Amino acid sequence: MFRSLIRTPVLSQALIVPARSCTLSGARCFSQSFTNHRTNTSTRTKENVHDLKTFLELIGRNCVEHLDVFEGDLNKFIETPSSKMKEAGIDTRTRRYLLRWKHKFVNDLEPLREHKRGKKKNGGERKAKTVIAKRKALQRAEEREQLAQEELIAEDRGERLF
């Protein structure tokens, strides 16, 4: 996203301290150093995972079924490129998921956990309007059909005269 469009939170005057070099030149400069560096304190880190089965169980999405492709060896999994995984018969979605987690694991970027697959609402973003319109049209047609059925039943009972 464009940083110029994102509003920064308003800070109290006590937190904003002008830099000394800017005050000499007459310009007003403020120093803000917000760092979002977090250390990985989870138990599901690179140091605590020593075998491939544990790794695949922690990342979830039924990746354990591909354990035999890598012969249960974590180093072989880390060294295996995408083309070899494709030749082994791992489908694209799972392969990309494994490669993302391999990168995060090697660089120790994130604790191991399962990322759930996203679920489409109303057929996805592009088709949402047409899916909702079709659903409403079907609902209206069913209501009309039910109303016509009720009128026939009422006419047969003699409750409705024409």
- Provide the CATH number for the domain around residue 65: 1.10.150
137 domain-assigned: no
Range of the domain at 94: 52-106
**Structural domain total, the chain:** 1
d(CA 121, CA 17): 48
21 domain-assigned: no
56 domain-assigned: yes
> What pLDDT shows up at residue 101?
92
For residue 75, give Cα distances in angstroms to 41, 70, 102: 23, 9, 11
Amino acid at 105: F
28 domain-assigned: no
DSSP letters spanning 69-132: GGTT-HHHHHH--HHHHHHTT--HHHHHHHHHHHHHHHTT-S-----PPP--STT-TTTHHHHH
57 domain-assigned: yes
What are the residue ranges in the chain where pLDDT is below 50? Answer: 1, 11-15, 17-19
Task: Read off the tokens for 132.
Answer: 């909702």
60 domain-assigned: yes
123 domain-assigned: no
> What pLDDT shows up at residue 25?
58
> What pLDDT shows up at residue 43?
65
Q: Which residue carries 């999994």 as its tokens? A: 77
65 domain-assigned: yes
Angle at 119 between CA 129 and CA 86, to 5 degrees: 120
